[in-house]
Structure 1
């Protein structure tokens, strides 16, 4: 079974967000050889871009907080409270460093079990089409979606396929769904439901 994922799967697992356990369970299935994780190459870089932007925002917030703390330090009333507030401010920077480390570790684990879809000219051509109506995807999503559709069109080995992501705002469109359906690829917008779907599909395969 081919399990297609994108950047939000990587971040969900790396940053231990709400559905990270299902992401970890999916990786474990792939480690056992019962399924194959498939990831567009574009999604290896995109999570780092997300963290870079998040780190920049946190640094700017810390800078603003430090200015306010310096103002408050002039008032004796707040002097005893400022040390703990500055510790909270420092957490913003520390958390960014820890998140980058977790992302590195997560990618090392994912890369051991996944197939990476390399970007080729035909994918970029498809992505250009998916930027237009009726798809109207932004450039990042267009490249991700084009990578998956391209892989589906050339991959004949896997009889069962699914695309699991949390981007229902952009991908939950009839025309996008129709193309995946034409390749017998189910799309799900929840990693917990995705993992349960994989388990149920595997159970049916075993029973048959």
Structure 2
């Protein structure tokens, strides 16, 4: 059994989002070699750009809040009112640090566990076609070209799952038709992957309690 994941798998775990428990089960199962986890190398670096953007937005918001607090402190009638929320800029900064640490940890685990697909000239050329023909973003087209290229090299009788939460891009007839002859199937959630693995008698470990970024 092969499970292809991409950047939103990494972010789901690092940010502790709604599908993190299922994603953690998938990663833990791969660490126990219950199946092969495969990820485009491109997808391991992309989340850092997303985190950097979130950090810039939070810093901007924190600066705006601090300026508002500075002005409100000049008014005696507002000084007491704003005290409970004056720590907001510091809280935002703490969240950024915690999420960055969590991302580092998830990427390290993935590097130690998953097989990686390196982008080639041929894959990039195919990605350009997918971007045009399937109306995919550049990053999604590269990821999909990686997955299809790798799946074509594998035994067709070996079941394969490609999971991405970008269902608006990948849950289309063209993708399903292209994956099916390769023994592959698209899944739009990590919960669905857990269900599919169970159908193939892959018993995943129960996820441990996930840490919440920014909460000690």
Fold conserved between structures, TM > 0.5: yes
Structure 1 residue aligned with 2:24: 24
Structure 1: which 4+ aligned runs deviate by more than 6 Å?
Answer: none
1:81 aligns with 2:71: no
Identify the structure with bigger relative contact order (alpha carbons < 8 Å, sequence gap 6+). Answer: 2
1:138 aligns with 2:160: no
Gaps of 5+ in 1: 204-208
Task: Using the TM superposition, name which of 17-26 and 137-146 deviates more.
Answer: 17-26
Structure 1 residue aligned with 2:201: 202
Written as runs of structure 1 = structure 2, the 5 A alignment for 1:29-108 is 29-108=29-108
Take 1:194 and 1:56, find their aligned partners in 2: how far apart are those partners? 33
1:123-181 Cα distance to aligned partner (Å, 9 max, x none): 10110101112x01110000000000010111228711001111111111111221111
State the TM-score, normalized to the length of structure 2. 0.89
User: 8 Å contact 1:2–1:158 — kept in the other structure?
Assistant: no
Give the superposition deviation at 1:182: 2.1
1:173 aligns with 2:182: no
1:82-113 Cα distance to aligned partner (Å, 9 max, x none): 33322122111110111010000111111111
Give the superposition deviation at 1:20: 0.9
Gaps of 5+ in 2: 203-216
User: 8 Å contact 2:165–2:188 — kept in the other structure?
Assistant: yes
Take 2:151 and 2:83, find their aligned partners in 1: how far apart are those partners? 56
Take 1:105 and 1:158, find their aligned partners in 2: how far apart are those partners? 34
Written as runs of structure 1 = structure 2, the 5 A alignment for 1:154-193 is 154-156=153-155, 159-193=158-192
Give the superposition deviation at 1:23: 0.9
Task: Using the TM superposition, name which of 76-85 and 104-113 deviates more.
Answer: 76-85
1:42-85 Cα distance to aligned partner (Å, 9 max, x none): 10111001000000110111111111111111111111233332
Task: Using the TM superposition, name which of 151-160 and 109-118 deviates more.
Answer: 151-160
User: 8 Å contact 2:156–2:183 — kept in the other structure?
Assistant: no
